Structure formats: structure tokens, C-alpha cells
Chains A and B, each alone.
Chain A
């Protein structure tokens, strides 16, 4: 520990920054995709139409029972097979994350939709709005406002989860840190540095969530 060498980090900063950018980009796209797909799953589940709600419930419960790493392996194997040609690792990972996180987002969004009072929906129906108009203009805007802190928390978890693309060697921040650690023979420096970077980003995110929660209650 006495010879903790910071120069290895400084020398490799551009490479590490590329990895961090990929992690953040993957997180952002997976959040957007996960929320969109999750909203549809939640609407399916609450639609009152048995085949739709059963299919959505089955999907959500299946995904929530298996580890993310297994889901990543699944899509790395399935996506090229289904398309008949190899696509980049990034897209396979992105699809895996969207499909996986959508299950978790849909549970959050379902609770959010149920938190909107029934009278609101009835008022919409009384005004002659269609199902989609009620969802679009009345239920979802209110639901999402209530959910913002939890959605951000899930986003922080998702950011941590992106480190798992390490198992398929996609060059995110974690994989890049590990490449530097091995080629330079500086495991201690690199993994401690990676931990600090993840901690700073995630802790800042959780402080932001606390701020949002306070803003909501006052």
C-alpha cells in the first residue's frame, strides 16, 4: 500500500473516460427504453384484459426471478441468432438491459398509476375522454410526478448494474479499469479508483433523490 501509484490513473485517463462515457450512455438509453417498455407493461397489467395482464405479469415475474448476468448471457446468445447476423456487443447489452430493467420499472410505474385517485379517471370518463386520452393527459402525468424520486433511484441502481457488462467484455468503465489494472499490473490502484468514481456518482445521485423527496413533501 505504501507504493500507491497515482500516475497509472493519470496516464490512462482518456481511456478510462471513454469507458465511463460508455457506461453513462448505456445507462441513459436503458433508462429511457426501460421506462417506455415498463409503462406499456404496467398498462397491460392494469388493463383488466386477462390475456394482456397475465402475459405482462408472467414476463415481469420471470425476469425478476433470474440474475441480470444470466439475462445478459441470454441476449448475447439470442439477439445474433434471431437476427441471423452478428450485431455489436453494445446493442446486445442495450437490449438485455432494456428488457431486464423494464420489469423493475413496470412495478414502480404500476404502483405510481395506482396512486392516482380513481375519481380522476372517472372525471375523465365523464368528460368523454377515450382510454388513451385519460392515460396520456390525466393518469400518467400525475403518476410520473409521484414516481420521480423512485425512478431516479432505480436509475442509480441501473448505473451500478451496467458494470456487469464486464462478463461479456464490453468496454464500459469497469472493463476498462480492469484492462488497465491487468496490463499495468496495478490492481489495487485501479480497483480503488473505480470504487471511488462509482461511489461519487452514485452518492451524488442519492443526495439528488433526497432533495427531490424534500421538494415533493414541502
Chain B
């Protein structure tokens, strides 16, 4: 194996600022998409468990649609196809005048995709609470809204903290797909450094180490969160 090591390349300009900017974009995509995914995912997940058939069907369709098409295809649909399908003026605006189109598309695409995964966790959490508590709530004269607000959601949200942590990590990893529509996030920047300097080993190691640090950070936060949200007596059921 012939290879000229040069770890110093990572600390040279501009490569160092490329890496830093890559980390910035990775966080910017992942965090904003996460907020979007949480908001929509909770609505869809709750919707699937509602007694209303039409709502449940719409929400199930959403989940099946977004889960069964690769994220890469979804990003391309939002980025290349959406402007063509929309009314002419809006499409033209998206192509020419929309600020930061790669970033906006990545956030929307990743957010809506992750929402379908979060919806499944929320649904599983609500189902795990069990019939007993739901029946008890109805027997006490709670409306459906009250049952969700005071019984099902507070318990299920605490039950699903562990799987949601792994979703949170997944959204960071999936944000790397934004490079396919031209957003220079962390993975793209490391690839670019590898191409410019021929120091692939160093460049990819840098990206790997940063992703591992993000994963470790998320795991530590998760453990703290789990400690405070754990429901005694429910452990192991969720």
C-alpha cells in the first residue's frame, strides 16, 4: 500500500474552513428538518390511531408513500420535478429566485421523509400505552381529545424517547444525501478535499470522526433524557 500521509492538510486553509462549513450545513439541515419532522410526524402518528377512518387512512397512506420510496428519489422529486409540476409562476420562482434552493429542498425532503418514520414511533408509543388506560379515560367521561391530551400523549411521548434518539441520529446521517442535490455538507466537503488534495484517508477520517462525535453527543443527551423521562413500572414495555 503506497500512500503519502499528510494529516496537516486538514488544518491548512481552505480545507479547514471547508470542513467547518460542512459541519455547519450538516447541523443546519438536520436540526431544522428535525423540527419539521417532529411536528408532522406527531400529527400523522396520532392520526393513524384516531377512531376516524378517513383520517387514519390518509395518515397511513402518507407513511406508506414516504417509507417505500428511497430518500434520494424523494429529494430529486422535490428538487427537479416540483418546479415543473407547480403552476408556471411558482415553478419559475422556485427555479430562479428562491433563496438557497438546495438547502430549502433538503430540509423539506428530509423533514417529510423522517416524519413518516417518527409517525411510526408515535403510533407504536400510543398503542403501547394499552387499552386499559384508554378505556379508563373514556369511562371517566373524557372526550377523545382529552384522552389524548391527558392520558395517551403524556405517557407515550415518554415511552418513545429511546427510539426517537436513534431517529435523531439517523437524521444527521441522512442529511448527507443533500450532497446529491449540490449542498456541500460534511460528507460532500470531505469528498471535495479528497479530490483536491488526493489525501482521501485524512479527509474521510476527519468526516468519520466528526460523525462519531455527533453520535456520542446525541447518545449522552439521550441517556440524560431517558433518565428523566423514564416511567417506573412501564420500563421494558415501550
Contact = CB atoms under 8 A, between A and B. Distances in A.
B180 A167 contact: yes
A164 interface: yes
Interface residues of B, number: 42
B212 A77 contact: no
Interface stretch (A60-68, A118-126, A130-138): A60-68
B74 interface: yes
Interface stretch (B35-43, B122-130, B170-178): B170-178
Contacts of A199: 65, 68-69
Contacts of A198: 68-70, 73
B207 interface: yes
Contacts of A188: 80-81, 84-85
A70 B176 contact: yes
A96 B186 CA distance: 19
A64 B190 CA distance: 19
Interface in B195-234: 200-201, 204, 207-208, 211-212, 214-216
A77 to B, nearest CB: 4
B139 interface: no
B165 interface: no
Interface in A56-99: 61-62, 64-70, 73-74, 77, 81-82, 84
A166 interface: yes
Contacts of A74: 204, 208
A73 B190 contact: yes
B61 to A, nearest CB: 11
Contact of B169 (A65, A156, A187): A65
Interface string B72-85: 11101100110011
Contacts of B81: 187-188, 191-192
Contact of B187 (A70, A194, A203): A70
If over half of B's interface residues share one DSSP class (helix, strand or loop), that class is named, otherwise mixed; here it is helix
Contacts of A66: 173, 207-208, 211-212
A181 to B, nearest CB: 8
B173 A68 contact: yes
**Interface residues of A, dominant DSSP:** helix
B73 A163 contact: yes
Interface string A151-193: 0000010001101101100000010001001000001100110
User: Size class of A's contact patch?
Assistant: 35 or more
B80 A191 contact: yes
Given A73-B194, A188-B84, A67 B68 contact: no
Contacts of B177: 67, 69, 164
B72 A163 contact: yes
A164 B75 CA distance: 12
A197 B176 CA distance: 24
Which of B81, B212, B215 is the most central at the interface, judged by chain A CB atoms within 10 Å of its CB?
B81
A82 B69 CA distance: 35
Contacts of B215: 61, 64-65
Contact of B84 (A1, A62, A81, A203): A1
The 3 closest A-B pairs by CB, nearest first: A65-B215, A67-B176, A202-B68
20 contacts: A1-B84, A65-B214, A68-B173, A69-B187, A70-B211, A73-B187, A73-B190, A73-B191, A81-B1, A82-B1, A160-B70, A167-B179, A187-B84, A188-B80, A188-B85, A192-B77, A194-B76, A198-B68, A198-B69, A206-B67
Given A73-B191, A81-B3, A181-B80, 11 more contacts: A1-B84, A67-B174, A68-B173, A73-B187, A82-B1, A160-B70, A161-B70, A166-B180, A174-B70, A195-B69, A199-B69
